[in-house]
Amino acid sequence: MSHPLRIGIIFSGRGSNMKALLDHIQAKPDTYTLANLICNKPQAIGISVAKAQGFNTTIIDHTRFDTKTDFETEISNELSSANVDIICLAGFMRILSAEFVRKWDGRIINIHPSLLPAYKGLNTHQRAIDDGAQWHGCTVHYVVADMDAGEIITQTRVQVKKDDTAETLAERVLNVEHKTFCDGLDLAAIAYRENKRTKE
């Protein structure tokens, strides 16, 4: 029996996707264990959400560092010391440097609120509405140096309604994000184990 994969989660805000991942990890103790939970905002709502589930969060406040490199080095050291296998970016509102991504190549996954490669970046819901898109949704993908450009792991589609606003569409996309992220983690975990086996 292989050991549970050690998962690191990094978030910045209310932590709804983070909570979904925590629930998923707790439900599969033979598959996963939470190695580290990191937040870059000391006042983030998600910190208390995690605490309510019995998880402490490591605060690494980006505003306390002189450079982005120093900030990312601290995060990387924290992840390395926890022997993290896969990193999940669950609403982490900082763009990681190419150097950081290279160090953790193929081991960082993110969820993005669009059907990539459509609508990279911000304001995805309004952009989809403005374009008259019939379908919108979310994508779990590997993180690479170029923003929202990594290999797609899984996607879930949501139909855009004629009377949708950015807010109503965002809410429906969020409703499917949680399961999609957990499914994406499962697929990434399978790929990670297979890749590790081929290298042994």
Which residues are annotated as catalytic?
112
For 129-157, b where at least 16 C-beta lie within 10 A, e where not — what string?
beeebeebbbbbbbbbeeebebeebbbbe
Is-contact 109 87, C-beta < 8 A? yes
Cα–Cα nearest to 148, from 185, 117, 174: 117
Task: HSE, CB side, 13 Å, CA atoms: give it for residue 113.
Answer: 20
